[in-house]
Amino acid sequence: MAGIRLEVRVVLMLVLALLIAPSAPTANAAGPWWEPVGRSAPDSQVNVTGEPFTGTGPDGRVRGWIDAHNHLMTSEAFGGRLVCGKPFSWEGIADALQDCPEHYPDGSGALFENITGGSDGTHDPIGWPTFENWPSHGSYTHQQNYYAWVERAWRAGQRIMVTDLTSNGLLCSLPVLPKDGRSCDEMESVRLQADKTYEMQDYIDSMYGGEGKGWFRIVTSPEQATAVIEQGKLAVVLGVETSEPFGCKQTFGIPRCSKGDIDRGLDELKSLGVSSMFLCHKYDNALCGVRFDSGTTGLAVNAGQFLSTGTFWTTETCKTARADNPIGFADPALEEALGVDLPDYDQSERCNKRGLTRLGEYAIRAMIDRNMMLEIDHMSVKAAGRPFEIAEAHDYPGLISSHSWMDTGWTERLYELGGFAATYGFAPEEFVAEQARTAELRDRHGKGSGLGVDMNGLANQAPPVGVDSPLAVSYPFRSIDGGSVLDRQVTGVRVWDVNTDGVAHYGLVPELLEQIRIAGGDMNDLMSGAASYLDTWSATADHGDGQDTDDE
């Protein structure tokens, strides 16, 4: 009987999907500039009223909040079937927001989802139009960055998004994870994701009458970003966050890349429009040691480190008050599942022995030569100190901490250099506490606050607070700039409420900001975040000391 009920429900969903299947874009030529002249029907609603602000503030600086760490195209990474659903589709929302084939009929085949706790072992795979179980704040494997949800955030005052092109060759290559014909080579994945981001720009442009007319604008310079923001649109910055960029892995401590590989890789990234990047992420590589993940996640990542490099993380007593994250104790059940005997660690040894390598130093100087911003999150404490020294020696401001993966002891030094920091937006109280901790430093150095949401970055989002919480959002509410009114977001037949759903997708980030406001956050400070990021980028782009950094 259970199988019959499932088949009936699937048939009903297919009938409903056919009844509201995509049609040609509908004309809206008489509408205001921020409304598309054509949008496929049906589609997600945006549920925002009010004109997006344009121009600059009274001080002549751009206004708007920034998400300094997002992943628009993770659905193209890791072999193409780890994150299910796409941020856009020329075929419409029914094609974009559907689950992976192996998740049918009940989600029990969603191996990574179930291991990471995104569900209790099963979930309803139907996306459009019902979305019974996904996207959700705790799911790693379902699309959260659908373009109309991003549009809602832009309408609510967002003016910069940094989207990091990402992948992990080892995770992609695991035989238990399905593939969709995409390469597991990290650089090939970066190329594909860059192409798809430009295609998303074309897709949005097509709704607004042609090339250059949409609200989603990829920018490759601070001047371009400023012009886009002054028009009231969203400036999209491309970054890279991979574990072994340019093939720079290391095996038993032996690097597998050269200076030539680094130069060719950076030149290619610049040609793709990339403006910032991480040197290491999750695994020690030929460039630097990483800041550990904690707990069970840390144990799993350490197993991946072993499979990728032939060695586990090695720890030592920290030389300063700064420390990496504790790894956690070996778990027999996890060891059995992974088929790897994990080492036990002395919990008093909190620092990775591996720092910045000579190739890593070369890469930083090569980035300085190309006026690229360096993301120092995920670097071990031992590794992170050296970029500060190199940047200070060159009076180079282009260091970024975009999502709370830097030891907070570096914050003052980062601001003194001219860099920018954003806070992972997991919970409103945590964001407000970090904003308060750095308030005096930011005031002294003229810095604003930023979010680093890490959406579709295999990261949890803010959970529901409950309708009776002091932080509950009362609908409708005003955007933090005060110019727009937002009601509950509706996609298909699903009505989203952050109080009961948490930040399930990107369209609910404005609700997270409202919770931050209720919790006592400084909204003016957040609205100056885009300008502060541009200050760092402008100073980086203008930098030129005439020195040959490779010779130092």
* Model confidence pLDDT, tens digit, residues 274-316: 999 999 999 999 999 999 999 888 888 998 999 999 999 999 9
**304/264 same-domain check:** no
pLDDT of residue 552: 44
Q: Where are the beta strands (DSSP E) in 191-347?
A: 216-218, 234-242, 250-251, 254-255, 274-278, 315-316
Note whether residue 278 is domain-resident: yes
How many structural domains are present in the chain?
2
**261/194 same-domain check:** yes
**441/373 same-domain check:** yes
The pLDDT of residue 23 is above 80: no
Residue written as token pair 């999502």:
403
**311/367 same-domain check:** no
pLDDT of residue 1: 40
The pLDDT of residue 364 is above 80: yes
Note whether residue 186 is domain-resident: yes
Residue 277 structural domain = 62-81+138-285+355-463+519-540
d(CA 242, CA 457): 11
**362/346 same-domain check:** no
Short-list 248, 254, 330, CA closest to 283 = 248
The pLDDT of residue 173 is above 50: yes
**433/324 same-domain check:** no
**427/392 same-domain check:** yes
Backbone angles phi, psi at 467, to 5 degrees: -70, -20
The pLDDT of residue 28 is above 80: no
CB 68 within 8 A of CB 534: no
Note whether residue 500 is domain-resident: no
The pLDDT of residue 22 is above 80: no
The pLDDT of residue 7 is above 70: no
Domain boundary among 303, 333, 352: 352
Backbone angles phi, psi at 150, to 5 degrees: -65, -40
Note whether residue 484 is domain-resident: no
**74/206 same-domain check:** yes
Contacts of 225 (CB under 8 A, 6+ apart): 160, 219, 235, 237, 534, 537
Note whether residue 4 is domain-resident: no
CB 366 within 8 A of CB 266: yes
Cα–Cα distance list, 136 to 43, 156, 206 (Å):
19, 21, 29
The pLDDT > 90 percentage for the chain reads 79
For 5, what's the count of Cα atoms within 13 Å in the CB-facing half-sphere? Answer: 3
d(CA 398, CA 241): 16
What is the per-residue DSSP string for 386-428?
HHHHHHHHTT---EEE-SS-S-GGGHHHHHHHT-EE-EE-S-H
**360/343 same-domain check:** no
**396/334 same-domain check:** no
pLDDT of residue 550: 52
pLDDT of residue 181: 81
Note whether residue 29 is domain-resident: no
**Please, what is the average pLDDT of the chain?**
91
Long-range contacts of 86-90 (CB under 8 A, 24+ apart): 86/143, 87/143, 87/145, 87/146, 87/147, 87/150, 87/200, 88/146, 88/147, 88/200, 88/203, 88/204, 90/203
Domain boundary among 331, 352, 373: 352
Mean pLDDT (whole number) for 42-50: 97
Q: What is the dihedral of CA 368, 371, 376, 379, to 10 degrees?
A: -40
d(CA 355, CA 362): 14
The residue with greater pLDDT, 16 or 127, is: 127
The pTM is what?
0.92
pLDDT of residue 549: 53
Mean pLDDT (whole number) for 237-255: 95
**268/359 same-domain check:** yes
Domain boundary among 303, 322, 352: 352
Q: Which CATH number does the domain housing residue 430 bear?
A: 3.20.20.140
Note whether residue 510 is domain-resident: no
**325/197 same-domain check:** no
Mean pLDDT (whole number) for 528-536: 97
Note whether residue 317 is domain-resident: yes
Backbone angles phi, psi at 179, to 5 degrees: -120, 160
The residue with greater pLDDT, 485 or 24, is: 485
Mean pLDDT (whole number) for 378-386: 96
